[in-house]
Structure 1
Amino acid sequence: MRMVDKVAAIRVFPKLVLTFLVVLSPLYIIGLQINMSGLKNVNKEITHSLSSRVNLYMELLDNDFGGILLTLQDYINDEDLMKLSITAEIMSDVEKTQANLRLKNHLDILNRSSKFVEEASVFIPLIDRTITSNMEGIKDFDANQFKAMSGPLKTKESPFLFWKDRIFVTLVYPPSSRGKDPIFVAAVEISIPELVSTLDSYTNEGGGAVLVEKATNRIIAKTTLNAESEIIMDQPELMESTDSNATRKVDVDGQSYLITRKDSEHLGMSLLMYVPTKDVNQQLASHRVWLIILSLASIVIVIAFSYSIYRIIHKPLISLLQSFRRIEQGQFNHTVTYPLKDEFGYLYEEFNSMARKLNVLVHEVYEQQYRARLSELRHLQSQINPHFLYNTYFILYRMAQLEDNENLMRLTKHLGEYFQFITRDGTDEVPLEMEAHHARTYMEIQSIRFANRVEAHFGDLPIGAAAIQVPRLIMQPIIENAYKHSLELKSKNGWMNVEFSLRPDELIIAIEDNGHEFTAEKLERLKQVLRANDGFAESTGMINVHRRLKIKFGEAAGLRLSEGARGGLKVEIIIPIGERDQ
C-alpha cells in the first residue's frame, strides 16, 4: 500500500516519461534479443568457418605431403639411383652423366609436384656427389648434411626432420644398416615460407594459425604478425584439452580466444587456428552502437514529447491548482487568465465565476457566524451571574444571627468586590491580575463558609503574567464547581489549590481538589461532556468556560481534565498566548 501511495504521489511529468519508457521497453528488449541472437549466430558461423578452414588446410597438407612421401618411396626402385649408389665404379663417364641427368629430371618433377617443396636432393656417398633439383644440379657432397639426413627420426609418428631451422622429409636406404652408412639418402626440404603464406591465406585479419609437431609440440610454421601463437603454444594443456576438430573458448593471459584444432594421423602434426573473441564481437559492435543511439534517441524523443504534453496539459492544470490553493487560503479576489478558447479556457472562466460567487458567500457566512458567536458568548456569560446569590444571603443571615461581626465585615467586603466585578459593564476581556483577584475573593468567601473544613491555597502570578488579557469569569466557575460537587461533601480535610504557570506559547491555570469518591469513570464522563460540544444547550459552569475559550482562542484553548496528585479532579485552563497578549 505504501508503494502504491508513493507511485500515486509522483507528479504528472515524471509519470508521462515513465509511461512512455514502459511502453517502449518491449522494443528495447526485442532489439537486445536480436542483438544477442545475432551474436550467437556470428559465433556459430565463425566457429564453423574455423573448423572448415582447419579441415581444408590439413586435407591440403595430407594430400601434398602424402604424395611427397609416396614419391620418395618410389626412389627405392629408381634404376639410375641404384646404379649410381652401387655400381658407379664400373660405369663409364657417359653412363654416369646420363644417369645423373635422368635422376635430376626426376627430382625436378618431384620439386614441381607440390608448392611446399623447396628443394629435392639425393646424397650418394659412392660418387661423392649430391644431386639436387636446383640450378646447380650436381654439387659437392656435404658429409655433415648427409650424416644429419641419414640419422634416425626423433619420433616414429612424425616424418619430419629438423636441421638448422630447416625441415626435411627423408628416405634412407637401406633403412637399417647396422652401424654402416646408407648407400643413399633422398631428402625433400619443405618450404617454410610457403607453409606460412598458405596459413596466412587461410586466416582472417586478427586471427592466426600455428602448425606444430604433435609429439613434441614443436612449431613447424605459424602465421606472420601473430605473437599470440607463442603465447598459445606456451600452454601445453591446450594440446591435451582441445579435442581434434573441436572448437572451444580458452583464456590465455587475460585474453579470450576461440581455438580449433585438427590432427593429421599420417603426418604426425596438428594445426591450431584461433581468433580473439573481441574480433568476433567486433562484428556486432556497429549494431550495438546503433542500438545505443536508437535508445538514446528514443529517450530524448520521449522526454521531448512528454514535455510538450506537459506544456499543453499539465502546465495549465498547475496554474489552476495554484489558483485553488489561493482560494483555500482565502484569496477570493484571485482570478486566472488563459489566452486560448479550448477546454482549459472554459475551465478558467468557470473558475473565475466560482471565485466571485464564493467571495460573496464567504462574506455573508462570516458575518452571520460572527454574530452567532458573539450572541453565544453573551449568553454564556449571562448564565454565570445568578449562581451565587442565594448562598451568599444565607451565609449573611447566619452570621447576623451569631453576631459574628468580624467575619460579617469580611464577607460583606468580599461580596461587594465580587458583585462589583461580575456586574461591571465593559469589555469581555480583563487583565489576568483582575481575574485572579476576583477568583481569590470568591475563595475567601468560600473559606468563611467552609471554615475548618477546607484548606485553600492560591498561588502567586508568574512574573510578566499580570497584564495578559483573558476572558472574564473563567476561574470562578471552576472553583465553584469544585466546592459544589466535591468539597462541600467532605466534613473535614478538604483541600483546594490554584497554581499559575507561564510558558512561551501558553498560559496554564491549574485548579485541583482532593475530591470525594472521584473515579476514573467520572473523569471519562466529564471528558466526554466537554467533547460533546452541544452548542446552546443548558450546561454547567465548567462546560461554559470550556465553550467560551474555544470560541475565543480556537481548538488550542479549553479545559484539560486529569486526576490530581491527591486523588481528586485537576482542571487546567489552557490559554494560548499570541502577540496580542504579550
Structure 2
Amino acid sequence: MPFKMSFFKRIMLLMLVLLIPVMFLYSYSYQTSVQVIQNEIEASSIRQLNFFLSQVENTAAQLALHSITLSNESNESSVREIVQIDTKQSFFTILKTKKSIEDKLLLYSSSSSWKNNISIFSPVSGAALSTYPVIEYKMPQLEESLITKWTFYKKDQSNPDDRFTWYTTSPPSSRYDLASANLIVETSFTTDNLKNMLDEFVSSRKGNPFFYKPSFEPITNRKGNADHINELIQYFESHTPGNKGSQAQVTIAGKPYLVSTVPSTVLGWHLVDFVPLDEVLSPMYKSRNLFFSVMLILLVLGTAMSFFLYRNVQIPIRELINNVQKLKRGDYSARLSNQPKNEFHFLFSRFNEMAAEIQELIEKVYAEKLRSREATLKQLQSQINPHFFYNCLFFIVSMSRLGENKAVEAMATNLGDYYRYTTRAEKPTSTLKEELGLVNNYLTIQQLRQQIDYEIRIPDYMMNLPIPPLLLQPLVENAIIHGLEPLVGDGKIIIYMEFNGQHIDIIVEDNGVGMTDEKLQELRNKCSQPLTEEMGCGLWNVHQRIIYMYGEESGLRLNHSLLGGVKSVLSMRKGELANV
C-alpha cells in the first residue's frame, strides 16, 4: 500500500506550516526592531554625551577665558596693579587697591554658573590675592607643563575638594620662564560642579555617567551604582577607551550594558555612560514573550484540537478501513465493536449489518458452489465409466466372433474387477496403487488384442498417494487407440512419476504414430474448451477434473514424446493433494 499521511499528522503538519513562517517572520522583525532600537540608543547616547560634554567644556572654557582676560587687562583699575602694589605710598591706598582687585576677582568668579575660585600672583611684587576664603593665599610651585591647560588636583590640607586648575601667565611668553612673569592668574573649580551636572544629567535619562581617567578616582554622579562603576573600571583596565570615543556591550553584574565613551580634549578625561539594555529593551522583551506565549497557547490548543479530531474522527475511520480490508481479504466475520457516540455510530451499525449480510450471502454462495462442484465432478466421472464400458463390450463381441474364449474370459474378469473398483461405496478418492491396479487390468486386456509392452516406474513410497479415481486409465486408453493401434509393429507404454517444484507429475508416454504440431495444438485447445457433441470426452474429462480438484495451475499437458508418440502429463499441486 502506498504511504498515506494520517489525518492527525496532516493537521499537525498544517499547524507547523502556518506557525513556522509566522514565527520566522516575527523573529526576523523582532531582531530587526531590536537592532534598530540598539542603533538608535547608541546614536542617542553619543549625541547626549557629546551635548553634555560640550556644556562642561564650554563652562570650563569660559572660566579659562576669565583667567586670560584678567591677565591681559591694561587699564589702571585692572588686576595688573598687583604688580606695583608695593610701590603704593600709603597703607590705605594699598588696602583700597587690594579691595578693588578682590572685587573684580569675585565679579569674574560669580559670572559663571560653577562654583570656582580665581587667584592672582605677581612674582615681581610677591603679592597674591584670591577668592579663596583664606587669610593669606600662597601660589603653588608651577611648571611649564601646567600653563594654559586644565590640571586635576586631589584634595589636600589647603584644598578640601578635588579640583581642576588653569594657569595663565602675563606676558604669555613667560610661560617658558616663570621667573620672568609679571602676573600669574589661577582659575579653579571643584569636581562638585561636575557631579552636580552629572546628577542633573542622569535625572532625565537612564544611565550612570561618570568621568574616567586611568590611575585616578572616577568623578561619579551621586545617584549611580558605585559597584557597577567599579566593575566597569576593572573592565577599562584591559580595554582602555580610545581617543575618538567608542561603544561596546559589556556584561556588568550579569546583565548587558551599552557602554559609551567620549573623550574630553579640554579636561583630558573620558566621559563614560553605561545604559542597561534590558531596561531599555524591556517593552520589546515583553512583546516578544507575549507573542511566543500566544504561539505556545495556539500550539497547545491546536494539538488538543487535533487530538480531539484524531480520537473522534481518525480512529473511527482507521478502524472502519481496517475492517473493510478484512472484508477484502475474505474475513467476513469482521465487525466493529467500538460504537462511538457521534455520527460514526450510524456508519458502524450499518457496516456491521452489511458485513453480516455479506457473510450470510457468501456462505450461501460458497455452499451452493461446493454442491455444484460436487455435482459436476460426479457428472464428469460418470461420463468416463460408460465410455470405457462401451470399448470393453466392443472388444468382447469381437473376441466372441473370433472364438477367443480365453480372451473373452480375461476381458470379462478384468471388466468385472474394473466395475467392482469403480462402484464400491462411491469413494471420492483412491490411492495411486489402486489406480495403477486398474491400469494394469486394462493393459492386460489390451495385450489380448495386440502386442503391447508396458512399464510402470512408480516409487513404492508414493503408492499411497491419494488421487481422484479414473485419471490414468483414459490416458492409457487414448495412447492405445490413437497411438499404438495405427502403429505397425510392437507398441510400448511407459508410466512414471516426476517431481517438478510444487507439482507432482504422473507421465504416460507411448511410441505410437504420434501427432503433428497442428493436431497436438488443436487437441490442447479442445481440452480447454467447453465439451461439445463432436468432441471425445476422455482427455477433456481428465483435464477438467484436475483443474476442479487442484486449481488453475494444475491440469493435463500434451507434448511430443522422445519415444515417437505422445507424452501426457498429469500435473497436480502438492499443497492441494492433502485436501483430496
Secondary structure (helix, strand or coil) at the match of 2:573 reads: strand
Q: 1:59 to 1:190 in 2, by over 3 A?
A: farther
2 CA distance for matches of 1:269 and 1:385?
131
The Cα shift of 1:575 comes to 3.0
The residue aligned with 1:574 is: 573
- Per-residue CA deviations over 1:48-100 (Å, capped at 9, x if unaligned) read 3442343233223213322321332232332565344x335445662575367
Alignment pair present for 1:377 and 2:369:
no
Mark the runs of 5 or more structure 1 residues left unpaired by the alignment.
153-158, 243-247
Distance 1:179 1:471 in 2: 141
The correspondence of residues 485-500 of structure 1 with structure 2, limited to 5 A, is 498-499=496-497
Q: Secondary structure at the match of 2:333?
A: coil
TM-score, normalization: structure 2?
0.65
Of the candidates 328, 333, 337, which is equivalent to residue 331 of structure 1? 333
Q: Deviations over 1:442-486 (max 9, x none)?
A: 78999997868x9x6724255xx6555333344556677788899
Aligned amino acid, residue 298 of structure 2: S
Q: Contact 2:542–2:556 at 8 Å: present in 1 too?
A: no
Query: Does 1:286 pair with 2:279?
Result: no
Q: Structure 1's 44 and 559: CA in aligned 2 closer, same or farther, altered over 3 A?
A: same
Number of the residue aligned with 2:106: 105
Structure 1 residues 369, 179: CA separation in 2 closer, same or farther (over 3 Å shift)?
same
CA distance in 2: counterparts of 1:268 and 1:394, whole angstroms: 145
Q: Which residue of 1 aligns with 2:548?
A: 551
Query: Separation in 2 of the partners of 1:414 and 1:167?
Result: 149
Q: Write out per-residue CA displacement over residues 343-394 of structure 1, whole angstroms, 9 at most, x where no aligned residue.
A: 6565566556655654654454334222211111112323444666788899
- Quote the residue 1:51 is aligned against: 43
AA matched with 1:429: T
1:87 aligns with 2:64: no
The one-letter code of the counterpart of 1:294 is V
Q: Which residue is equivalent to 2:468?
A: 471
Counterpart CA distance in 2 for 1:521 and 1:237 is 113
Give 3-state SS (helix, strand or coil) of 1:6's partner. coil
- TM-score scaled by length of structure 1: 0.64
**Residue 57 (structure 2) pairs with residue 65 (structure 1):** yes
* CA drift at 1:549: 4.3
Aligned-partner Cα distance in 2 for 1:232–1:482: 117
Kindly indicate whether the alpha-carbon contact (under 8 Å) linking 2:153 and 2:163 is maintained by their aligned counterparts in 1.
yes
* C-alpha RMSD over aligned residues: 6.3
2:365 corresponding residue in structure 1: 365
Q: Which amino acid aligns with 1:109?
A: S
Tell me how far apart the structure 1 counterparts of residues 131 and 211 of structure 2 sit (CA, whole Å).
26
1:229-258 deviation digits (Å, cap 9, x = unpaired): 76578568987797xxxxx88799999886
Distance in 2, matches of 1:578 and 1:529, equals 26
Pair 52,286 (structure 1): closer, same or farther in 2 beyond 3 Å: closer
> Match for residue 142 of structure 1?
140
Aligned with 1:124 (options 85, 104, 121): 121
**Deviation per CA, 1:266-290, whole angstroms, max 9, x where unpaired?**
8888767665766665543333333
**Letter of the 1:573 counterpart:** M
Structure 1 pair 579/395, CA: closer, same or farther in 2 (3 Å)? Answer: closer
Q: Supply the AA of the counterpart residue of 1:576.
A: G
The 3 A distance-change label for structure 1 pair 232 and 438 is farther
The one-letter amino acid paired with 2:184 is F
CA distance in 1, matches of 2:376, 2:536: 13
Distance 1:249 1:148 in 2: 38
User: 1:173 — aligned with what?
Assistant: 169
**Separation of aligned partners in 2, 1:233 and 1:314:** 67
Distance in structure 2 (CA, Å) of the matches to 1:122 and 1:99 = 14
1:394-430 alpha-carbon deviations (Å, 9 max, x no partner): 99999999xx999999999988876664555522122
Instruction: Point out the more displaced range, 421-430 or 32-41.
Output: 32-41
Contact 2:249 2:256 in 1 (8 A): yes
Contact 1:478 1:511 in 2 (8 A): no
Are 2:209 and 2:274, in contact at CA under 8 Å, matched by a contact in 1?
A: yes
Matches of 1:564 and 1:128, distance apart in 2: 152
Residue 180 (structure 2) pairs with residue 184 (structure 1) = no
In 2, Cα distance between the equivalents of 1:129 and 1:28?
A: 84
- 1:123–1:185: 8 Å Cα contact kept in structure 2? yes
Residue in 2 that maps onto 1:295:
295
1:390-409 pair list within 5 angstroms: none
When structure 1 is superposed on structure 2, of 566-575 and 392-401 the one drifting more is 392-401
Residues 360 and 180 (structure 1 numbering): CA distance in 2 closer, same or farther, change over 3 Å? closer
Cα separation, 2, equivalents of 1:125 and 1:535: 153
- Give 3-state SS (helix, strand or coil) of 1:188's partner: strand
Deviation per CA, 1:504-542: give whole Å up to 9, x if none: xx663364879989989989996x989x78699978766
CA 1:104–1:241 in structure 2 vs 1: closer, same or farther (change >3 Å)? closer
Decide which moves more: 64-73 or 123-132: 123-132
The equivalent residue for 1:156 is none
5+ residue gaps, structure 2, are 156-161
Given that 2:559 and 2:568 are in contact with CA atoms closer than 8 Å, whether structure 1 keeps it comes out as: yes
Do 2:245 and 2:263's aligned partners in 1 also have CA atoms closer than 8 Å?
A: no
Alignment of 1:528-543 (within 5 A): none
Q: Could you report, residue by residue, the CA deviation over 1:485-513 in whole angstroms, capped at 9, with x for unpaired residues?
A: 9999999999967335599xx66336487
* Number of matched pairs: 540
Query: Does structure 2 retain, via aligned residues, the 8 Å contact 1:51–1:260?
Result: no
More displaced stretch, 428-437 vs 255-264:
255-264
SS at match of 2:301: helix
In structure 2, relative to structure 1, the CA distance for the partners of 1:148 and 1:297 (3 Å cut) is same
Instruction: Classify 1:58/1:383 alpha carbon distance in 2 versus 1 (closer, same or farther; 3 Å).
Output: same
Q: Is the 8 A contact 1:559 1:571 kept in 2?
A: yes
- AA aligned opposite 1:302: G
Instruction: State the Cα deviation string for residues 320-339 of structure 1 (Å, max 9, x = none).
Output: 6677677652339x797969
Q: Which amino acid aligns with 2:457?
A: F
